[in-house]
Homo-oligomer: A and B are copies of this chain.
Amino acid sequence: MSTTAVTTARIVRSITELREHIRQYRLQAGPSAAVGLVPTMGFLHAGHASLIRRSAEENGLTVVSVFVNPLQFGPNEDFECYPRDEARDVAIASEAGANVLFMPEVTEMYPNPPKTSVIVSGITERLCGASRPGHFDGVGIVVSKLLNIVQPNRAYFGMKDAQQVAVITRMASDLSMPVDIVPCPIVRDSDGLALSSRNVYLSADERSQALILSQTLKLVPSWVEEGIAAAELTRRIRERIQSQPLSDIDYVEALEYPDLTPPAAGASLRTLLHQHPLLVAVAVRFGKTRLIDNILLTQKG
């Protein structure tokens, strides 16, 4: 096989078949078996591809799930029109090194409405948890299910949804799930826009104005270095974002990471960084499209 040949990932739709495939792999691979899971809602982009590539480097078998999970969408959100393109997903995932694509129907994942909730309190009340009630309950159950079905050694999540990473890491730890949750860096377009399946909704004007998010977040490290507090930081961020007339801010927050608690009022964020990483996260609508972006600051040296 030449190094440029791409083997198309196997498409699996049933939980039983997926489990059997993974069982066979583990039996054959023996003690060195390692399974990576990349959970996605499909409509894959280079951000997803970076997770898949990382998993393929670190594991003998990489499973990519493509499942638009109805339980994590609110009643007025975009579940029905969330972008889907299965053939494209198969091509991108295969190219990036996926071995198996798990693409279940909703009825396969939820044969009955679940009575069980997996709730992570404390971490889910702010940011997207506040803007999207029930969202993280839906994430909790679907990620629990995927982890229980695949039983991966490692599961890969993009830091664009930093709160999701915090929630899932805490859930896995609290429930003693035998998996490493691997956070991966945000992937950006050449103009700085964080990649998102929802970017396809943006008009040319909206997209151009949305660049204010990454441009503003880039300034955060130097602002923090000035010794300002969270209130001043978020004021400056809001001011810059609001300079774009199509922007409609949902939230701008600076929180300790990964517990997502607010810093003491008035405290210097520069000083705080000695003790905790700091997440600065924004959610902003441009037209009907809600975008999120963030920067995670950690103490260096």
Contact = CB atoms under 8 A, between A and B. Distances in A.
A208 interface: no
A178 B116 contact: no
A123 B114 CA distance: 12
A117 interface: yes
A174 B116 contact: yes
Interface stretch (A55-63, A141-149, A236-244, A283-291): A141-149
Interface string A21-35: 000000100110000
Contact of A118 (B15, B116, B123, B148): B116
Interface in A23-67: 27, 30-31
Q: Determine which residue in A27, A115, A145 has the highest number of CB atoms from chain B within 10 A of its CB, and name it.
A: A115
A15 B141 CA distance: 24
A19 B153 CA distance: 13
By secondary structure, the A interface counts as mixed
Nearest to A26: B26
A174 B15 CA distance: 13
A144 B175 contact: yes
Contact of A175 (B31, B148, B176): B148
Given A27-B30, A30-B27, A151-B151, A15 B117 contact: no
Contact of A115 (B19, B117, B121, B151): B121
A55 B122 CA distance: 39
A184 interface: no
Nearest to A146: B176
A119 B120 contact: no
Contact of A119 (B30, B116, B144, B151): B116
24 contacts: A15-B176, A27-B30, A112-B174, A115-B121, A115-B122, A115-B123, A115-B170, A115-B174, A116-B119, A116-B120, A116-B170, A116-B171, A116-B174, A117-B117, A117-B119, A117-B121, A118-B118, A119-B119, A141-B175, A144-B175, A148-B176, A148-B178, A149-B176, A149-B178
Q: Which 4 A-B pairs have the closest CB atoms?
A: A116-B174, A114-B174, A145-B176, A148-B176
